[in-house]
Amino acid sequence: MKKDSFRTKSTTEEGALEDLLRNHGVSRRRFMTFCASMATMMALPPAMIPRIAKALEQARRPSVIWLSFQECTGCTESLTRAHTSTLESLIFDAISLDYHHTLQAASGHAAEEAREIAMEENYGEYLLVVDGSIPMGNPGYSTIAGISNHDMLVDAAKGAAAIIAVGTCSTYGGIPHASPNPTGAVSVSDIIKDKPIVNVPGCPPIPVVITGVLAHYLTFGTLPELDHIGRPAAFYGNSIHDRCYRRPFYDKGKFAETFDDEGARKGWCLFKLGCKGPTTYNACATTKWNDGTSFPIEAGHPCLGCSEPDFWDGGGFYRALSMPTENIAKTAAYTATGAAVAGIALGALNRAKKKSSHKAHIKITIDDLER
């Protein structure tokens, strides 16, 4: 990817983040702390902190169009409903969010017009954020202003500099994609093949992860380094298991067997209760949720694996990873019964063969041999 291929230029309206932050009563020190944590999260050297700060201060508010398809609004809730007015939410002031169903005041034709104008004015420059999956079974399953999700995505993607797929539905199909997938739900990357796409999965994704991707874009003008399924490697580089504070208990073989036993009370490993931490790559165990308060495992619940494709069909949230997803006991019992019948039949066949060969045996005497 060319380094400056997505460099933003002055788009919708002027206004630096620095002023906005000051207006929101955020001190310089807090802002720098935020930049430092961003740098840490994105695995950048400390020398990059001033660069991030400068870039964010001078950010020229790139136009962002946010499309919501088959989704539950949980992703938007996650990103905007921080319990206090955080720096993470303030970074949204550094972008020009020109279209977002849930957040915009306009509705109907006015809303759609805003999207069309933003697309036209910033053609080739705007960021397209998508949450929710796209139904391919019937275009009527999900429409906005009479336009099918598929058509709106294809149309909006044409002029986008890059696409950020937010949430597991838009990144991998998510819950709508779960078996039997009644709407034929697919991800953004299943449809759009010619644009850079960043996948920010999670159900919902961690707010700071989407902020991190935006901060990276605002700082460097490029998208961050991605892993093999399109996720920013800086945030999805480690598994929950490897960063879990309960990991020592796994290593020692100390497990909670139920949700209210001694092990559960002592905070032992939740592997036996179905924790998908070992196969899930996300930043929950390090960044945590609700302003760094906690994350599901810390609250005593196993990881569901929500940032991985098909997490809904993983054989059950409360079944340990080493347990089969099908009823193997039943399979074995039916097979054993059938095989016993087959075995008896084959055994009888062998006996018959033995008997007939025994009968066909011609006795040879010494006289016969001497002849």
The residues of the shown chain that bind other proteins, judged by CB under 8 A, are 172, 228-229, 239, 241-242, 250-253, 255, 271-272, 278-279, 281, 305, 308-311, 313-315, 319-326, 328-329, 331-332, 335-336, 338-340, 342-344, 346-348, 350-351, 354
Is the Cβ of residue 84 or residue 327 nearer to other proteins in the bound state?
A: 327
Distance CA 106, CA 100 (A): 10
In angstroms, give the least distance from the CB of 317 to other proteins: 14
* Best CA proximity match to 176, nearest among 319, 313, 317, 318: 313
Is the Cβ of residue 242 or residue 261 nearer to other proteins in the bound state?
A: 242
Q: How far apart are the first and last CA of the chain?
A: 93
Whether omega before 176 lies within 30 degrees of 0, making that bond cis, reads: no
Distance CA 134, CA 26 (A): 39
In angstroms, give the least distance from the CB of 308 to other proteins: 5
In angstroms, give the least distance from the CB of 255 to other proteins: 6
Q: Give the tokens for residue 349.
A: 């066949």
Is the Cβ of residue 66 or residue 271 nearer to other proteins in the bound state?
A: 271
Q: Which residues contact 86 (CB under 8 A, 6 or more apart)?
A: 207, 291
Is the Cβ of residue 267 or residue 315 nearer to other proteins in the bound state?
A: 315
Q: Which residues contact 48 (CB under 8 A, 6 or more apart)?
A: 39, 219
H or E element that contains 128 = strand 126-131
In angstroms, give the least distance from the CB of 251 to other proteins: 5
Is the Cβ of residue 71 or residue 308 nearer to other proteins in the bound state?
A: 308
In angstroms, give the least distance from the CB of 97 to other proteins: 31
H or E element that contains 143 = strand 143-144
Say if residue 89 is exposed, middle or buried (CB neighbours under 10 Å; 0-12, 13-18, 19+): middle
In angstroms, give the least distance from the CB of 88 to other proteins: 27
The answer to whether residues 124 and 63 touch, using CB atoms and an 8 Å cutoff, is: no
Distance CA 241, CA 280 (A): 8
Distance CA 18, CA 27 (A): 10
Is the Cβ of residue 251 or residue 368 nearer to other proteins in the bound state?
A: 251
Is the Cβ of residue 88 or residue 308 nearer to other proteins in the bound state?
A: 308
In angstroms, give the least distance from the CB of 304 to other proteins: 13
